[in-house]
Every structure is written in C-alpha cells, then in structure tokens.
Amino acid sequence: MKFTHMNVQGRGRMVEVSDKDITKRKALAHAQITMKKETFEKVREGQMKKGDVLSVAQVAGITGAKKTWDLIPMCHPLMLTGIDIEFEYDEKHNAIHIYATVSNEGKTGVEIEALTACSIAALTIYDMCKAVDKDMVISEIYLIEKSGGKSGHYRRGEDNE
C-alpha cells in the first residue's frame, strides 16, 4: 500500500496538486458542545460575563478555517471564497450545534477547513464559558457534505460509492 502523504523515505510530505483541475468545492461540517442547563441559558440569553459568546465563536471559527494550513501540517494554503458559521440551540440536550460551510475554487478540497472552523468555534464557546462550567463536552465533529474535485459529491449517511 502506498501512502499519499509519505515520501520514498517514509516521512511526511505535502501532496503535489499542480496537475489537479481547479473546481468549485464546498464542505459542510458539524460540531456540538453540551453544557449545564444554567450555562446554556446564559449563552442563549446573552448573559455571559465575557460577552456575546456566539459572535466571538463565529469570528474564531472563520479565523480557524482561514488558518487551517497553519495548524494541520499536510494541508495546503487555500484561497477560501466563502466561510459561514451557523449555530442551533438544542434545548432538549442543553447543547449548541455548530455548522460551518466553507467554499473555494481550487485544486484541493475544503473539508478540513470546515471541520477546523467547527472545532475552533466549539473551543471558543468553551473558553468563553469555562468560568461557570468546566464540564462542557465538545463532540460530534464530522463532515456532513462535500462537493467538487475528483471524488465528487459526498453526503453523510448516503451510499457514496
């Protein structure tokens, strides 16, 4: 088996993509942060002492997507054309669902950028709320959908063969 991110000496390398076609690419990812009911209510009502938690998390998620190549060693620096972060309150589970959509026109996909955006947004929520709740749990980080590139369209839970 030949690994794409290993050179002939068995050491890591960034894959050569210059021969790949430029295509429109888009990825949608998800993360979840679960917290105590009191913390959830404070976030939802804008009562956290540090300020508007989701506004800060949104900007952090966008920044995270833009800096993915700095954080994940084998990722290429990409010219991202769009980043959007959305939040959904889940009252039943005292959780916030985070959705990140990232797009570009390029030679490599934006899945890791979308996953990074969700992760950084969740970590920022944790940071903004940790003074009142250290028991928060970040979970359910996964790719929902991606399009573009050689492998085409993928949607979680569908037969993607």
- The answer to whether 125 touches 51, Cβ cutoff 8 Å, is no
* Contacts for 3 with CB less than 8 Å, ≥ 6 apart: none
Non-local (6+) Cβ contacts of 95 within 8 A are 32, 33, 34, 35, 40
N- to C-terminal Cα distance for the chain? Answer: 21
Grouping H, G, I as helix, E, B as strand and the rest as coil, residue 90 is: strand
Q: Which of 19, 52, 90, 127 is catalytic?
A: 127
Q: Is 127 a catalytic residue?
A: yes
Query: Would you name the residues annotated as active-site residues?
Result: 127
